[in-house]
Every structure is written in structure tokens, then in C-alpha cells.
Amino acid sequence: MTYEIQPAGSHYIDGAYVEDTAGAEIPVIYAATGERIATLHAATPAIVEQALVAAEKAQAEWAKLSPRERGRVLTRAAAIMRERNHELSVLETYDTGKPLQETLVADATSGSDALEYFGGLAASLTGEHIPLGEDWVYTIREPLGVCVGIGAWNYPTQIACWKAAPALACGNAMVFKPSETTPLCALKVAEILTEAGAPAGLFNVVQGMGEVGASLVTDSRVAKVSLTGSVPTGRKVYAAAADGMKHVTMELGGKSPMLVFDDADIDNAVGGAILGNFYSSGQICSNGTRVFVQKGIKEAFLARLNERLQDAVIGDPLDETTSFGPMVSEQQMTIVQGFIEKGVAGGARLVTGGKRIDRDGWYLEPTVFADVTDDMTIAREEIFGPVMSVLDFDTEEEAIARANATEYGLSAGVFTSDLSRGHRVIGQLRAGSCFINSYNDAPVEAPFGGVKMSGVGRENSKAAIEHWSQMKSVYVRMGDVEAPF
Ligand code: NAD
């Protein structure tokens, strides 16, 4: 089956594709070959205006529907997305370079999970009655209004759905700006929402670089901004949103620790470390890139890891047997190569990998450094590529202190067969999304998000509702008003 990659227009506004070639060109490059597969244009101010006007109009109508009616649109969209999973997964692979083996199970499927979950939750969103003797207060859960979503490039379908689903369930409208590196997938989300019955203008997509995002964040019609991106961008967007006193959700970067104790099942720990470092070629915010291994099993862990890495099938992402694909872009590959050089120069032991793979596209070998120390650049900075740092430790207290010695706090994992230790250690790790004897699971039922510099707010689960709605409280006096004069 062949699929159309070039969309009918760069933007999706008011229920239809829109083009404005006056905007800067955005080439879409297929990471596995380096070839240009589509050309889009950044939004001009006129396009941004069109999207905001459409969203404002749609939001007013959408908020009047019963939550159950809103939910029905989202669950219908979830079903359409599932039916089209193959087509959407192929597009995700073209957009990001991630292997089809992954995109078939982790992208449109995760997006439809979110649409289904929040579609189901919509009708259960209520206020409360607060008795005060004779008088009483009731609360009304209200939408925020027009919300802006801004995406990173690693999970373009998932990010669009994780933001749109709870936003729309709560009665908001959205203008979404995908990453300029992966502009294709969010357009499909918009198409599917329209097909599912969402009113025109409810979910709009505008393309562009940072300035388009910034123009949305500073617009006075926008009530909330949800960003998935790096910490430096998060700082800028949060500050700009604060100026307009807007709500924010910040899903930012990480340098998460994974603690592997002597008593851990080595194969499970190695499996967790592989998932937490090499899935999506390491381009996952919650990755456990600092793997602390207790000294007693260090060599056994490294030996097993090395063995299993030989089983990685590196190749054409559209071949379903491929389990490891390219980096998203040449630029990202170059950044990661720079970190690998710093790892070597800093004295870490290169156990495996480290080189660019000799083929078209932006492929790097899965790379493991051992004997990494806390002060090394590769142990401190987010690399966002297939580079694992293995650090040794002696005691539980030491491992916890070192794991927490970072400005980030997105995720953390523990591998141990001691039940008490698992819970005790996780209880002390300063991170938002944690795992015991597992890594990187992100079901829509669980809250997702970070602490410290990794972000503010939570996506997914019932917790997301608090970030996409606001409470109105109404005091009702049943008797006379007593005034001092
Ligand atoms: P990035 O910060 O460079 O860009 C993110 C988005 O912000 C892009 O759409 C970009 O165009 C936009 N942007 C840039 N400057 C802006 C500005 N001044 N105003 C408004 N928008 C602006 O991130 P990236 O390189 O696309 O993605 C990788 C980063 O995203 C990593 O740090 C990764 O950890 C993080 N990430 C976090 C999560 C999470 O849920 N916590 C998920 C995926 C990725």
C-alpha cells in the first residue's frame, strides 16, 4: 500500500487544510535516507490569526454541549485512529524515522488510548456540593478557553493526542503547533477529529519554528499553554505565559536514574536499561540514562547488556523486523556525536558503539559507557540519543543521594528483588514518573510528568483534568444578608 506523505496544506484550520506559501519553507526529511519527502510552510501571522479566531468560535459552541456529547466525539476519534493504525504508523515512521515495529504499537495506539480515556471520563467531570449548615456552596468545573499545545519531535502523534484529548474533554479548543522537525502527524489527528464529529475550529494545527510558538503563547486570547520540549525552551515559554498569567503544563527534559541492585534479576534489569536507553533510538524524555549498577553485579550486567545489544536489528525502519532506527535529524545526530566525544575525552570506558553507521540516513550505534562518574558531562546533561551511562555504587544511601543530585526530576527506576527496598528507594527518589522492576511504561491511566526542572503539571490520568479546567465556586445564602450598616 502506498501513502500520500505531502499533506493537502501545511496547516489545518477551521476543519480544513490551509496553505500560505508566504511562510518560510519547512522541508520534511526522512531520517532513514536523508531524502526530502514533503515541503510545508511556517504559519504567517495571518494564519495564526485565522487559527485563533476559529478556535475561539468553536470553543464557545463546544463548551455548550453536554460533556457526554463531547466524550462521544473523542471516543469515535479513538476508534477511527485504531482502524487506521497502520497508515498512521507508517506516517509516524516517515515523520520521525522510528521503526515501524515501534510506531505500530506506541504512537497512534497511545493517541487513541488518550482519546478513549478522556472521552470516557468527560461525562464524569462534575463539581461538588459543599454544605455550610443552612447555606451552601457549589462548584462548577469550567473549561479554560482556547489552549495552545506545542510539541517536541519524538512522538508527534502521541503528544498531539495527550494534549488534545483532555483539553477537548474539558470543553476547551486547541491550536497545536508541532515541532518543525516532525510536522506531519498532528495534521492527521486534526483530520480524524473532524471526521469523528468535532466542530470546525476545535482542533487546529499551525506549523512553524519557535517564533510561531511564541506568537501563540503571548496572544491574549490564549488561556493555557502546554509544552513538550527541552528545559531551555520551557523556561522561555513558561516566562512568556506568566506574563499573561496563563495556565501552563511543562513536559520537559530529563536525566533520569535507574538503580540496579545486586539482588536484581539481571535480564529484567538489562531489558529495562535497553528500553530506557535505546527505544526510539534513545529519543525519549523519561529515559533512564544514568544506570547505577551495584558493584557486585556490574560486570555481569555489562556482559549481558553487550550480548543483548548484538541482537538489535538496525536497518530500514519500514521493515517490521528492524528494532533500531536512525536519529530524527542530522542536527540531532551531530549533537549526540558531540556527547559521545565528550564521554571518551572525559575518561569514560566505551563498552560498545560510539560510531555513526555507514549507510544513508542519521544512524548512530547503540552506545554504552561504563565507569562513568557523576561529574562527567555525559552523566549530567540530557543527550537525547542512544547513549547509556553506567555508573557504579556501593550502598543504597549513596545511590539515592547520587541519583537525586541533578536539576532534573522526570523519571526514576529501581530494579531489586527486595520488595521493601523497591518501595523505600522509590519513595526517596525525586522524580514524577517512577518504575519498580520496569521502565518507561506510560499508560494513559497513570499521571505523567516531572518535578524540579523537568516540568510543571501532569499529563494523562484524572490528574490531567486539573490542568485543563478551572473551578468556579458559587456561595448560596439561604437566609437574609447581615451587613454592618
Ligand atoms: P525544543 O525545546 O527544541 O522544541 C519544542 C517545541 O517548542 C518545538 O515545537 C519548538 O518549535 C517550540 N519552541 C521553541 N522555541 C519556542 C518559543 N520561544 N516559544 C514557543 N515555542 C517554542 O525540543 P525538541 O528538540 O523538539 O524536543 C526534545 C526535548 O523535548 C528534549 O529535551 C526532551 O526531553 C523533551 N521532551 C519531553 C517530554 C515530556 O513529556 N517530558 C516528551 C518528549 C520530549
What is the mean predicted confidence (pLDDT) over 453-458? 98
Q: What is the pLDDT of residue 134?
A: 97
What the block records as the C-alpha cell of 40 is 510545508
Ligand 1 centroid – CA 1 distance (Å): 33
- Residue 174 phi/psi, 5-degree rounding, is -135, 140
Alpha-carbon distance of 482 to 208, in angstroms, equals 57
Residues belonging to the active site: 163, 251, 285, 459
Q: Which of 17, 367, 54 is nearest to 183 (CA)?
A: 17
Q: What is the pLDDT of residue 1?
A: 47
Q: Which atom of ligand 1 is nearest to the CA of 240?
A: 19
Q: Count Cβ atoms within 10 A of the Cβ of residue 311 and give its class: 0-12 exposed, 13-18 middle, 19 or more buried.
A: exposed
Encode pLDDT of 57-105 as tens digits.
999 999 999 999 999 999 999 999 999 999 999 999 999 999 999 999 9
Bridge partners of residue 431, in order along the sequence: none
Q: What is the pLDDT of residue 18?
A: 98
Encode pLDDT of 202-259 as tens digits.
999 999 999 999 999 999 999 999 999 999 999 999 999 999 999 999 999 999 999 9
Encode pLDDT of 165-213 as tens digits.
999 999 999 999 999 999 999 999 999 999 999 999 999 999 999 999 9
Alpha-carbon distance of 228 to 284, in angstroms, equals 11
Alpha-carbon distance of 273 to 366, in angstroms, equals 12
Ligand 1 centroid – CA 191 distance (Å): 24
Return all residues near 357 (Cβ < 8 A) that are at least 6 apart: 314, 363, 364, 365
What the block records as the C-alpha cell of 89 is 504508523
Ligand 1 centroid – CA 418 distance (Å): 38
Pocket lining for ligand 1, CB < 6 angstroms:
150-154, 177, 179-180, 209-210, 213-214, 217, 228-230, 233, 236-237, 251-254, 285, 382, 384, 410, 450, 455
Encode pLDDT of 279-299 as tens digits.
999 999 999 999 999 999 999
Nearest CA to ligand 1 atom 35: 229
Q: What is the pLDDT of residue 4?
A: 79
Q: What is the pLDDT of residue 340?
A: 98
Q: Is 324 helix (H, G, I), strand (E, B) or coil?
A: strand
What the block records as the C-alpha cell of 174 is 486547541
Encode pLDDT of 147-162 as tens digits.
999 999 999 999 999 9
Ligand 1 centroid – CA 85 distance (Å): 25
| Element holding 49 (H helix, E strand) | helix 45-62
Q: Which of 155, 195, 233 is nearest to 460 (CA)?
A: 155
Q: Which atom of ligand 1 is nearest to the CA of 332?
A: 25
Q: What is the pLDDT of residue 472?
A: 98
Alpha-carbon distance of 13 to 15, in angstroms, equals 5
Calculated CA dihedral for residues 31, 285, 106, 334, nearest 10 degrees: 10
Nearest CA to ligand 1 atom 12: 210
Q: Global pTM?
A: 0.98
Encode pLDDT of 358-392 as tens digits.
999 999 999 999 999 999 999 999 999 999 999 99
Encode pLDDT of 323-363 as tens digits.
999 999 999 999 999 999 999 999 999 999 999 999 999 99
Q: What is the pLDDT of residue 6?
A: 98
Question: Are 59 and 168 within 8 A, CB to CB?
Answer: no
Alpha-carbon distance of 70 to 53, in angstroms, equals 21
